Chains A and B, each alone.
Chain A
Amino acid sequence: KAGVTQTPRYLIKTRGQQVTLSCSPISGHRSVSWYQQTPGQGLQFLFEYFSETQRNKGNFPGRFSGRQFSNSRSEMNVSTLELGDSALYLCASSLVSVDGEEGYTFGSGTRLTVV
């Protein structure tokens, strides 16, 4: 089966711009979560969507937002980019619950560089 697909793989943006990242989960997976990965902070939870509703939110400013479509695809948006937003953004999907047999299935990530 196809894995979790994230696009684009790499992105370079300027401070103050906004960016939209996309994630296509495994077919049939209804839960999509986003994580920010940096060398200093590690993996930090951004938010989770389930059946088009945000179910959980991490401790990130309102500049970070997301949404999920009826086909479970998800997008996250970061507005007014700051240098500190440079990171690998990972998307993960699961069938329903992350404590199921397969847990999360992660994508390869989108590497965002803010200059």
Chain B
Amino acid sequence: AQRVTQPEKLLSVFKGAPVELKCNYSYSGSPELFWYVQYSRQRLQLLLRHISRESIKGFTADLNKGETSFHLKKPFAQEEDSAMYYCALITGGGNKLTFGTGTQLKVEL
């Protein structure tokens, strides 16, 4: 079955500490993965795509097909990183995205 798993509902780190938000997927085809973010009182928005291999706001994510993972990382957490993060996978033709249940990141001072 096609599935995206984010094992942590809540991740709390101190400012300046490294962050890793975990995402594992189950998909029989060639995966296309994304991270979406929702800041407080804002709309859900795209953070980054694995195909672009870019760093956005200091975040990076590497697709590991062997471990079927797409963890989101940032070396030094900032207060403004506090938000809800969703990992998502294209699971059908067109624009069908399967989302994980999300991880709430809280960056403490």
Contact = CB atoms under 8 A, between A and B. Distances in A.
Contacts of B101: 42
A100 B97 CA distance: 13
B95 interface: yes
Given A99-B49, A102-B46, A45 B90 contact: no
Given A31-B95, A98-B97, A107 B90 contact: no
Say which size band chain A's interface belongs to: 20 to 34
Contact of A107 (B43, B86, B102): B43
Interface string B75-96: 0000000000010001011111
Contacts of A44: 99
Interface in A58-115: 58, 90, 92, 94, 97-99, 101-108
B86 to A, nearest CB: 7
Nearest to A102: B46
Contacts of A99: 32, 34, 49, 51, 90
B10 interface: no
A58 B92 CA distance: 10
Interface of A: 3, 31, 33, 35, 42-45, 48, 50, 55-56, 58, 90, 92, 94, 97-99, 101-108
